[in-house]
Amino acid sequence: MPYNFAIPVPLLALIAALVTYAINAAGAAMIFLSHKLSQKAVVFLNASAAGVMIAASFFSLLLPALDRDPGALPVTLGFLFGGLFLLASDALLGKTRLGREQKRSALFYSAVTLHNIPEGLAIGVAFAAASGQSSLLLSACFFALGIGIQNFPEGVCVAFTLHRDGLSRGKSFFYSQLSGSVEVVAALLGSLLFIGVDALLPVVLSFSAGAMIFVTCSELLPEAFSSHKGVASFGFLAGFALMTFLDLAL
């Protein structure tokens, strides 16, 4: 059924992306409510962040890429290149004077930011595809809301991880919400460049998944399981279960 809204599609996509960004920022703001974290709390947050990222890589990135039916090769190559990109970034960071915690934060932050770009593009594409169709527009709104709700625990994880590695609460919040703000720009581009972006989206999604899996396996999981393995195991399961529920329920 056609709708009669006078709001242009790019503006609708922009409004939706601003909502997802605001939810991300709300998650990041939780850093201001925390007190000094115990070692067990740090381990739990590391492990839950790993669980969130692995679940998001599969449910929010790889499955949507495969649902667009681009064939196995583009998705596989995109995934591999995403991992190789972070591997190369890790090697370059190793040649700098950054400490271990700073390097880990840089890799983690890069992976999360990369993952937000295709989510923003997908929002823009969803609204562009819904142009003139009220039923599809409603689906696009629910799709954006689902991404926004997933952004809350991601904002929490990024802010707390950056704070753990030495940034102040204010800087941790600032950089965490900044990683979510890329969704706004990406959504606007996705709505304006609908045809070209839609064709490339499976590769971009799988590329981001590869990057997130790399940083999770190379940095977050080894750090989490270096001590308090029981707490780390529970944290990982909790993070993975939370993102699985959000992805499948919304």
pTM: 0.74
Residue type, 222: P
Pick from 210, 218, 203: nearest CA to 84: 210
Q: Express each pLDDT in 1-50 by its tens digit.
A: 444 555 677 888 899 999 999 999 998 998 998 766 677 877 887 788 78
Distance CA 155, CA 172 (A): 10
Asked if residue 34 is part of any domain, the answer here is no
Kindly list the distances between the CA atom of residue 222 and the CA atoms of 64, 74, 163, 180, in Å, as whole numbers in the listed order: 28, 30, 19, 26
The residue behind tokens 């994880």 is 157
Query: Mean pLDDT of all residues in the chain?
Result: 82
Number of domains in the chain: 1
Do 188 and 124 touch, CB atoms closer than 8 A? yes
Q: Express each pLDDT in 138-173 by its tens digit.
A: 777 877 887 887 788 888 888 888 888 888 899 999
List the domain range (segments joined by +) for residue 48.
9-29+39-249
Asked if residue 4 is part of any domain, the answer here is no
